Amino acid sequence: MSPFDDVANIQHIFVHGTYIDGNVEQSDFLLFVTDAVSSPPHTGLLKDVTFVDCGFIRPRLKGIVFVAATSEKFTFSACDFDGGNEDAIQINPSSALSNSVFSGCIFDNWNRDAVGGAWEVRFLSGNTSDNVSFSHCQFLSASVNENVAFAGSENDIRFDNCKFSKTSFGGTVSGKNIRNHNASGITSGLSENYGTASISPNGSGQGTITHGLTDTPTFALADVRGDSVNEAEIVGYGATAITVRIHNAAGADVTAGTFNVHWIAKV
């Protein structure tokens, strides 16, 4: 099923309650624009497309392939994806999926033939996707390489309250291209973290806190817990830790003692 072949611009589509079985339909692609497969990207515009309560099951090749240079404002709500032996969703090189939302979707690419060789969602090298949110989604397959694989060229791909069957993302992952909040099953990909650390300052009044983020944070705050005399400030940002300085009300370094420091850091 490639309904939008050779069409310059497609906008304002709503699909509800549709079940598409790739084995039955003999589909190579579900979407979009087959003329772009050999020479991506297609220069047309795919915009404002919504799927609600739909099933995309076991396509013969890829499930949903985004090959248009501009695919934006896509919404998938309560949809099921099963890529069979291949990727359930793939964003091609030089293509972009942007300003889009997956909400309450289930991905279960059970990969009939062998373990590995496919992903449930894969961003290919050179894609320029931006601002894509996965909220309350489940990635269930135990037979894929990873649930989601990144190229590093995409930006701001967010996962909020999602469950994963794998323990890591694939490809190039950093806090700049992925934001993984409140995830279950994957601990990598964090772009925000917080906690309480015990700091015993050195001769310069400083100590370090391991932040656990996937990139150097651009913002951090710290405060000394239960102390009305001494204060904490962030004086250094690193790939694995932030540096905190403890000082008194007069601004002088505090070089003795142990302090409980509340902290938060974001990429």
Contact 211, 217 (CB under 8 A): yes
Contact 240, 259 (CB under 8 A): no
Which is more confidently placed, 261 or 142?
Answer: 261
Beta bridge partners of 55: 19, 80
Instruction: Give the start-to-end residue ranges of the domains of the chain.
Output: 9-181, 192-266
Is residue 156 over pLDDT 90? no
The average pLDDT across 104-114 equals 75
The average pLDDT across 7-14 equals 69
Polymer length in residues for the chain: 267
Q: Which pLDDT does position 185 carry in this prediction?
A: 60
- Per-position DSSP letters for 218-258, written without gaps between them: SEEEEEETT-SS-EEEEEEE-SSEEEEEEE-TTSPBP-SS-
Main-chain dihedrals φ then ψ at residue 124, nearest 5 degrees: -85, 155
Which residues are CB-neighbours of 96 under 8 A, at least 6 positions away?
66, 68, 69, 70, 71, 72, 127, 128, 129, 130
Q: Which pLDDT does position 41 carry in this prediction?
A: 46
Is residue 112 over pLDDT 70? no
Please give the single-letter amino acid code of residue 35: D
What is the side-by-side strand order in the sheet with 106-107? Answer: 19-21, 55-57, 80-82, 106-107, 138-139, 163-164
Contact 248, 229 (CB under 8 A): yes
Nearest to 99 by CA among 123, 137, 67, 129: 129
